[in-house]
Every structure is written in structure tokens, then in C-alpha cells.
Amino acid sequence: MFFSTASVATLRKSVTGISRRISRQRRDLLTLAIETSCDDTSVAIVEKTSESHLVNKAEIHFLENITCDSRAHRGIHPVLALESHQENLANLVDKALGYLPAPKNGEKTISLKDGSSRRRPDLISATRGPGMRSNLFVGLDTGKALSVAWQIPVVGVHHMQAHLLTPRLVSCMEAGNNESATPGAITPEFPFLSILVSGGHSILVHSQSLTDHKILASSEDVAIGDTLDKAARDIVPVSLLQEAKSTMYGKTLEQFVFPNGPADFADYRPPINRGEEVIKKQSPWGWSLTTPFANTRALRLSFSSVASTVNKIVSGREDQLSHEERVDLGREAMRVSFEHLASRTIIALETLRVRHRDEEEIKTLVVSGGVAANRFLMTVLRSFLDVRGFEHIKIVAPPPSLCTDNAAMIGWAGIEMFEAGWRSDLSCRALRKWTLDPQAEDGGILGPIGWIRDSESVQ
């Protein structure tokens, strides 16, 4: 068979690229990761052992978060959050360096101020967006500076992609702690459905590959976490709010209305069909909360009405509300919010089942983001799946410590992107808005300029 010179060159280039990717996938990867998208300053050291013939393993050598104290403002204060990043990030990086693994034979090292040597990271992972742009630049620019100083690549990570990939990090961490773990692909495997719920986001995502994520539904007003925070400010007694360690009052609300944990909602029963969803539940106190979009099958999310209704119920009656009524109102606000989210999830699964009848069916529902730590939410979702014909779907969620914004998830996403052949150009800039969907106007994860694939510029 005859090959032209051009064909041979193309083939050689292809083989070189494949060899490079195989090399990346067969050696351990160590990253220093930085997260500064909002009010959490976080640094992590994450390592992945990735040899194709072994179990994929991961270890977090270091992870620390410092959350800006903006309780006096009862919510995130952009200027205070920025100053907190500026004050704390360098110190966290300095502290993290002491947790880098000791070097093995032949590994490149960095020298610490105490005279010891540590293994040099293979890459820097830093959140590029979406988030508060000034805050993002603190972390991204620090990451680029470390990249230049150590002469290693930097990966500008998509914050929401990192959230939905976190269960894959957890599965590899569990494999690392299990000597009898069997070889296999990282779980959950694509495709899967993701629910990303936090104080800033409420979206349903169909994840088909590392960079191919289709947005099926998103909130048309405020995020579910923001709604629960606002409801908490009206429902939870002021004395308890003042004891909270952060302005994530949704967590305080959960602790207030469910002091005994799952035992307080053990008798929860989901609506078994769409007809039961639209039934308005009247409380003994004379008020009720309406489920958003209860009469439609539209793949849309809306949570603002829950917080506004709670505010109307409480307004002017703060001193008259009994402890029992406050607990009932808090539980109802959560139930309505979570059932609305679960209802749209079922509609999304039914839509995907029809649309992709000849393709692999969704087997996993990933729930990530700060609200994923709410145990009542997980009960509602599991109950809906079980009574609506999706009992075979497994729900996976990170442990609470990895649900909120953290640098470990950024490090893992950076490693996965780097293994796939992607890194960022040093000219890349922070992005306030950045979608996941490749069909969106900005092109999704790979849309913005600044990506480099292997040794060739993509944009």
C-alpha cells in the first residue's frame, strides 16, 4: 500500500498525539488547585493514579476553605469577598505546598523555604468561571503565575463542570481506600443526568461526555439555594441565625425544622402521579404554598414564589409565630421546592427516554452543589424516582464537604480535562458567564478563546 509524504506526516502526527494522550493517562497526575469564584477561598492538592490496567485512584492530600464572613450583611458582599481572597489565597497556597508528596526517583521537585523538597505538580487547576469576575481573577492569575514559575501547564476550569464531575472524584477516592477494588471505568460513566443546585444555580443537565452537557432546564428567576436562604431569614429565629457560621442559611433552616434528621421526615410520601402534584395542601395555620408550574409539563424551574410567599406569611407576624408554625412553614417551603425540582427531573427523564429510545438509557442521577447536602432533598428525589418508574436509577452525590464550592473538585476537573488533551493559554481571562452547553451562543465549555489542545492552539 502506497502512502504519500503528506499522508505519512499526517499519520505520524496522529500517532504522536495518541501516544501523548496515552502517556498522560498512564502516569500519576498531581495538581495544585485554586477556587475563588464567589466567597470561598479554597486550595487543594489532588493526585490521580491513572494506569489503564489498574483501578483509577484519587487522593486529596490537602484541602482547605476560608469563607468570607459577611454575616453582618446577611448575604454575600462582593467587595468583602474579593478582599478575603486577596488576604487569604497566598497563605493557603503556601500552606498547601507542605502537603505535596515527597519526590520519587527522577521526579521534578520544588524547594520549600524550610529547605525540604517536594514533588512538583504536573499542572495547575484554577477556576476560570462562571462567577464574580474580580474574584475569579485573583485565583486564575495566581494559577497562571505558578504555571510560569514552575513551567507547568495551567487549566482554567469550568466551575459547574467541576461540580458535576465531583462524584467521579469520590468514586476514585473510594477505590484508593479499597484494596479489593476491581479495575474498571471511572463512575458514574457517561451518559448521566445531573442536578446542579446551589445558591447561584439550579439546572438539569444531560451529560453525554466530558465536555458535552445539554441544559434541559434552569431556573427562570432565582436559584433554589437562594430561595431557601431567603426563607430561612424569615422563618428561623434571629438568635439562631446569629449563631450560624456563614450566610448559607438554608443549612440552618434544615437543622431548625428537622432537628432529628431523617427521623423527622421518615413518613414522607411523594405524589404518585401528576394529578396529586397539583393538589394544594392547606396548613392548620390557614396558609398554603403553591408548587411552581404544577399544571404544566414545561421543562422550566422557578423558585422565587416560594420565598416571596413565605415572606408574605411572616411579614408583620414575626412576634406572633409559634415555634410549631415556624417549623411547619419551613418544612413546607422545602417540600414544595424539592418536589418542584423532582417533578421536572421526572419530566426530563421521560423526555430523554422517548428521545433516545435506541441509545443507552440514563442509569445515574448526579446531585451536586451546596443544596445536595440537604438530606430531605435526597429523600424526595429517591421517592419520586421509585414511584414514577425510575427505581432502577442510582442517585449519587458527593459527601457534604465536597458539595459546596471547593478546590478539590476544581483539581479533579483540571486533571480530567488535561488527560483529555486540554490546557489553557496563559492569555485566558476570567469569565463571569459561561455555559455548559456546546449548542449555546458561547459554545459551552470549549467555546471561549484560550484553550490549547496538546501542542496545537484550538482557538
Q: Which pLDDT tens digit goes with each residue over 87-106?
A: 999 999 999 999 999 998 88
Least confident of 258-262, 390-394, 453-457: 453-457
DSSP string for residues in 359-380: SPPP-EEEEESGGGG-HHHHHH
In this prediction the pTM is 0.88
Of 194-203, 220-229, 327-336, 448-457, the poorest mean pLDDT is in 448-457
Domains of the chain: 25-185+405-457 (3.30.420.40), 199-400 (3.30.420.40)
Contact predicate 390/415, CB 8 Å: no
DSSP code for 446: G
Tell me the backbone φ, ψ of residue 223, rounded to 5 degrees: -75, 160
Residue 20's pLDDT band (cuts 50, 70, 90): very low
First to last CA, the chain: 36
**Residue 77, amino acid:** H
Share of the chain above pLDDT 90, in %: 71
Contact between 339 and 291 under an 8 Å Cβ cutoff? The reply is: yes
The stretch 336-341 carries a mean pLDDT of 96
Strand blocks (E) in 338-436: 364-368, 394-396, 422-424
- Which residues neighbour 51 within 8 Å (Cβ) at sequence distance 6 or greater? 25, 26, 27
- What does residue 191 show for φ and ψ, rounded to 5 degrees? -85, 155
Convert the pLDDT of each residue in 198-212 to its tens digit.
888 899 999 999 999
Query: Tell me: the pLDDT tens digits for 365-382?
Result: 999 998 999 999 999 999
Q: What is the mean pLDDT of the chain?
A: 89
Query: Average pLDDT for residues 340-363, to the nearest whole number?
Result: 86
